[in-house]
Structure 1
């Protein structure tokens, strides 16, 4: 099976967020991108299709893992396991509370997640750091990824350039803090550089 035959994108609102009128978000794609084809997922899909036209994709969220990883039923993610992906791209961590990662053993549960998504070790896994850098969370994800032989991609440097966020484009500060089209392209570029 080619690396790009079957690809899973799993993440938080940066990967996909359904419409939420009360915060001024009407899209159903990576939050703050101006259109679906501008988010990092669809940008990577285009790159993948150029080298493997027959690629199939599954885009899913983390089902609340970030908010309650210490008491989370991983069976909620069976759709991902059943997809039997050749490549799993995992972009989570931003909604994890940094002050609780040690006491709640986030690294342990993150590694359990990697094991669950790839039980037979046949999928290549690419794990991204937080977009909004979190020193402890990022380090625990980095260590877990290394322990499981996953590729780790640092994307947090993108926030050093405010143009990589959608500041001023949305009235809701939470939405506006998400990656702009430029930021989404930056995320896609950093991930693609590890795959190409």
Structure 2
């Protein structure tokens, strides 16, 4: 049973869950994402080991075995990555609906049990989640359009914080070779955050 079938066949549908219920589902999905991410990372490490082993082996038969092992690991990594992409979009969906529920409750607009989303929109969201060609960023954009959450999400803290933006820039510097390793990246991130705090303070 897939994610949306499971949610919509419960006593409460995804659109009528309370903020607390949505948060509970969000945490379950987050745990799933963390588990899958760890699996993808491990498979990537295993692939690197196979490449290193094959490089030191001169026998064609053994190299062929290593190559086949690499192919199996790669296939599994792609399958888990696809599942991770789906779970990430599912988690984002529940997170957005939770924020929408909290916003309506805070504004005293929403009533208990009031639908947050129409069935037609839910069906569209499900198709977007299952489409492998739609990554998390594009999905987030489309989801916000469907839920009309753009500015509300930012005001609720869904946008990337200044500190997180600095870390994203640092990772970009690492990709470009401007920062050598993770320790230097951490030190640089700490320095930039402190500078920003002093400037804002």
Quick check: which one's helix share is greater?
2
TM over 0.5, shorter chain: no
Give the shorter-chain TM-score range. under 0.3
TM-score (structure 2 length as normaliser): 0.27
Quick check: which one's strand share is greater?
1
TM-score (structure 1 length as normaliser): 0.27
